[in-house]
Amino acid sequence: MDFENRLLPELRSVIAQFPGFQLEENLELSRSYLSSPPIEQSEHVRTTSRMIPSVAGEILVKIYEPAQRTDVKLPAMLWIHGGGYVMGHPDMDDALCERFVQAANCVVVSVDYRLAPEHPYPAAIDDCYAALTWMTDEAELLGIDLDRVAIAGASGGGGLTAALALMARDKGGPALIFQMPLYPMIDDRNVTASSHEITADNAPWSRKNNLTAWNMYLGNRTEDSEVSPYAVPSRAESLAGLPPTYTCVGQLDLFRDETIEYVARLAQAGVDVEFHLYPGTFHNFEGMVPQAEVSQRASQSYVDAIARALNP
C-alpha cells in the first residue's frame, strides 16, 4: 500500500496538495514553505525580541511570557524550531509558544539558530547552548525559577533538543528537569526500516530530503569521519543522566524507528520517558493539519506534558 493510502482519511487531502520540499533543487523555495503570516497575538501573552551573544556574534531570541506577571519566578523552557537543520524561523511557532505559556504559566525563549548549509555543524548547537546559558544566566532579568528549566523542539529542533541535553549533561549544566524532543531528527545513518519506507516526493519529510539535509548539516566528511553525538544524538555512547523525557512520532514518519530506538535506550539507561506513536500519521502532522482530531489529541498531549513537568 502506498504512502497516501496508509494515512488517516482526515490527513490525506493536505498531503495530496503538498508539493514536497526540494532541498537540493531549490532550498530557498523550500524555506519559503515554512514562512507563515503573523499571528493575532494573544492578549494573555507578551512577546518581545532581543539579540543575545553567541559564538559567532549576536543571534535573535523571542521571549514569550504571561502578560500579567507578579514577582513570582516562573518556570522556563527553551524552544528550538524545526526545519531539518536547514529551514525555519522562530516566527513559525508563535502560536505554539503562546500555548505553552498559557498552559504551563511559564516563560518560553525561542532561539533563531544559524542554519546549514551556510552554517554547518556546530553552528546550530552552539547557538542553542548559548541561548540556554543566556536564559539561565539572566534568570533574575527574566524572572525564571532555575529549579524548573526545560528544553523542547520538533523535528530538526527535536534533534537539537536531544543534542543540547547531552551537551548540558556533559558540561555540568545548565540544570534541566525535562526535555521534549518531538519526532526528532537524530540519526544521520539512514539505515532503519522507516528511513527506507518514506520515499514519496510529497511526503513532508522523505528519504531524499533527509539524506540531503544531513549532508548540508554535517558538511564534508568521509566514511571514516568521527561524528559527534552533539551533531547526531543517536551516536551517543550513553544516555544515562539525561532529564525525564517526552516524545512522540507518527507511524508513517521517516524518524519512527530512530525515535523508538532512542526511547528504548533512554528507558534502559534509567531515564523516565513517555512515548506516543500515532498510527496513520506523517511527519509534523499536527503542525500541517492542526484541525484534525488526531492532531489536536497529539498537540494537547505534549502541551500537557510540558505543563506537568514545569509545575511538579
* CA 187 – CA 182 distance, rounded (Å): 14
What would the grid cell of residue 32 be? Answer: 519559503
Which residues touch 215 (CB under 8 Å, ≥6 apart)? none
CATH of the domain at 130: 3.40.50.1820
Is 93 marked active-site?
no
Is 155 marked active-site?
yes
The residue annotated as part of the active site, out of 253, 257, 295, 299, is: 253
User: Which pTM value belongs to this model?
Assistant: 0.97
Of 120, 127, 117, residue with least CA distance to 61:
127
The residue annotated as part of the active site, out of 112, 234, 283, 299, is: 283
Q: What is the pLDDT along the chain (312 residues), one digit of tens a residue?
A: 588 899 999 999 999 899 999 999 999 999 999 987 888 889 999 999 999 999 989 999 999 999 999 999 999 999 999 999 999 999 999 999 999 999 999 999 999 999 999 999 999 999 999 999 999 999 999 999 999 999 999 999 999 999 999 999 999 999 999 999 999 999 999 999 999 999 998 899 999 999 999 999 998 776 667 899 999 999 999 999 999 999 999 999 999 999 999 999 999 999 999 999 999 999 999 999 999 999 999 999 999 999 999 999
* H or E, element range at 266: helix 256-268
Which pLDDT tens digit goes with each residue over 298-308? 999 999 999 99
Which pLDDT tens digit goes with each residue over 118-161? 999 999 999 999 999 999 999 999 999 999 999 999 999 999 99
Rg (CA), the chain: 18
**Could you list the residue range(s) of the whole structural domain that residue 180 is in?**
3-310
Residue 246 is given by DSSP the state E
Number of domains in the chain: 1
The residue annotated as part of the active site, out of 155, 194, 195, 295, is: 155
So what's the pLDDT on residue 224? Answer: 67
Is 94 marked active-site?
no
